Each structure stands twice: as C-alpha cells, then as structure tokens.
Amino acid sequence: MHSDRAPLGLRIAAIAGLLFLHLPILLIFLYAFTTEEKSFQFPPPGYTTKWFGVAWSDRPDIWPPLWLSLKVAAISTAMAIVLGTLCAAAMSRAKFFGRDQITLLVLLPIALPGVITGMSLRSAFGVMDIPFSTWTIVLGHATFCIVIVYNNAVARMRRLSGGIMEASADLGANGFQTFRYVLLPNLGSALLAGGMLAFALSFDEVIVTTFTAGQQSTLPIWMYSELIRPRQRPVTNVVAIVVFAATFVPILIAYYLTRGGSETAGMGK
C-alpha cells in the first residue's frame, strides 16, 4: 500500500536541517536571560530578566542607533515603494528595445555582494564630495529595497489582465482614476508585502551600512561593535531579540499577504 509519508531518513535530514538553521537563534534567546555577564557558559548558571530592564533604562547608547535604523528603514522603504512600483509599471506594460537588459540592471544590486555595492557607493560619494549622513545610508539601502518592491510589483502586474485598464478607460476614467480604483487595489497586497520585506532587510543591514554610515551607528553596527568589545553580553542578546522581532514580523505578514497572490483580480475570469 502506497504511503504519502516521507521516508524516515528524509524526515531526519529535514529535522537536522531545521535545527542547524534555527538552533543558533534559540541560543540567542537563551542567553538573553542568563545571569552570567561576560561569558557564554553552557548551560547558563542561572536565569534572570534583569537584562531587559538594563537595556531599557540603563543603556542610553542603544536608543540613537535604534532610532536611526528605524528612520533609515522607513525612508528607504517609502522610496522603494514609489520607485519600484514605477519601474515595475514601465517594465511590465511597455515594450521597447533593451527592456531585458534594463531589467537585468534593475535586479543587479541585490545580486551583487554587499561589499561591492558598499565600496561603489562610498567611492561615488567621495567623488561627488557628499558628506556621510543619514541620507547616504538611505541611498545605500534603497539600492536593494527598490529591487524587493519591484519584484513583487512586476510579478503582480504580469498576472493582471490589460483589459481591465482598457475597460476603465472605455468607461471614461482618466489615468489617475484608473490607478486609484483599478490598479492600486490589485497591487495593494503585493506593494505592502514588498514594503515590509524591504523594511526588514533595511533594518538589519550591516555591510552596505558600514561603507555609507561614516561615524554614525545603526543598531546592527552597534550590536557588531558590542560583540567585538563586549560590555554586557546579555544586553546585546536582548537587542538581538528586538531586531529579530522587527524583521520576523514584517516577513511573516508579507508571507500571508502574498501566498494567495495567484487569485489576483482581473485575470480574465
């Protein structure tokens, strides 16, 4: 009799793979509650929640990097939603010579190693004599955030029937009305999901930020410096939990928003 269950060896391999991926994250959670301040003794000698209070009230050096990370991620995401959507509209609806090559150039920033992108941006800022600031970090993050939104938007647009926009025009709607009442409702969940993914990637980005931040410090850079020269290791783990939540929750929401994307309205039904 045929069974739909996977072979035992395959199931064991899958469990081992999941443990390999997620056990280090569980260790971060574990050591956020340890009573040991300087070392990663295993098992921890005891457990306490005091480090959450220390991170909240006794470590003012955490807050400026946190606010900078939130600010950069929010601005980068907003830029990505606007530019990524416009680019997706041009690539999916217009036909012109060199479209495939331009599409490759749009996708290239996310395919390149972050160190290459960071070095290129740093060199460009130096040539143009642009001082390092929040905006240089934003420009660095926007290079890959735009690609995330673009991928989501262009995939949804390609599933849309061009007839719905033609029908809107036939009924007397102008370009803005067609965008507002026809195109945007069909793209809404894809854009929201792309924006959340872009926010999550921007919030925890390290490599490009290192090249474009100058003397500023985002939260991931602060965490990296704390690991090199630790003052209170459990506090760093507490902050890591915050970063985990700030990235995991948007990704989870984006997943639920896009998993039913094949049921897009206007597909010629």
Q: pLDDT, tens digit, for every residue of 94-117?
A: 676 777 777 777 777 777 788 888
Report the distance separating Cα 234 and Cα 242, nearest Å: 13
Q: Which of 197, 200, 204, 206 is nearest to 115 (CA)?
A: 206
Mean pLDDT of 154-182: 70
pLDDT digits over 185-205, tens only?
777 777 888 888 888 888 888
Is residue 3 predicted with pLDDT exceeding 70? no
- pTM for the model stands at 0.76
- Please give the CATH superfamily to which domain 59-263 belongs: MetI-like (1.10.3720.10)
Question: Average model confidence (pLDDT) for the chain?
Answer: 78
Asked if 194 and 151 count as a contact pair (C-beta separation under 8 A), the reply is yes
- Burial (CB count within 10 angstroms: exposed 0-12, middle 13-18, buried 19+), residue 234: buried
The answer to whether the CB of 5 falls within 8 A of the CB of 200 is no
Give yes or no for a contact between 221 and 209, defined as CB atoms under 8 angstroms apart: yes
Tokens at residue 127, please?
């040539």
Is residue 266 scored above 60 in pLDDT? no
Tallying the residues shown for the chain, one arrives at 269
Residue 71 has pLDDT above 50, yes or no: yes
| pLDDT on residue 258 | 62
H-type alpha helices, the chain = 8-31, 50-53, 63-93, 99-111, 114-127, 134-159, 163-170, 175-178, 184-203, 207-212, 219-228, 233-258
**Residues 6 or more apart in contact with residue 215 via CB below 8 angstroms:** 132
Is-contact 30 44, C-beta < 8 A? yes
Note the pLDDT tens digit of each residue in 7-63: 777 878 888 888 888 787 888 788 777 776 666 667 777 777 777 877 787 777 888
DSSP notation for 167-206: HHHHTT--HHHHIIIIIHHHHHHHHHHHHHHHHHHHHT--
Tokens read off for 227: 């690991």
Q: At what angle do helices 233-258 and 184-203 cross, to 10 degrees?
A: 160
- Of 222 and 4, the structure prediction assigns the larger pLDDT to 222
Distance linking the first and last C-alpha atoms of the chain: 41
pLDDT in tens, 210-253: 888 878 888 888 888 877 776 677 788 888 887 788 778 777 77
140 vs 247: which has the higher pLDDT: 140
| pLDDT band, residue 133 (cuts 50/70/90) | confident
Strand ranges (E), 69-185: none
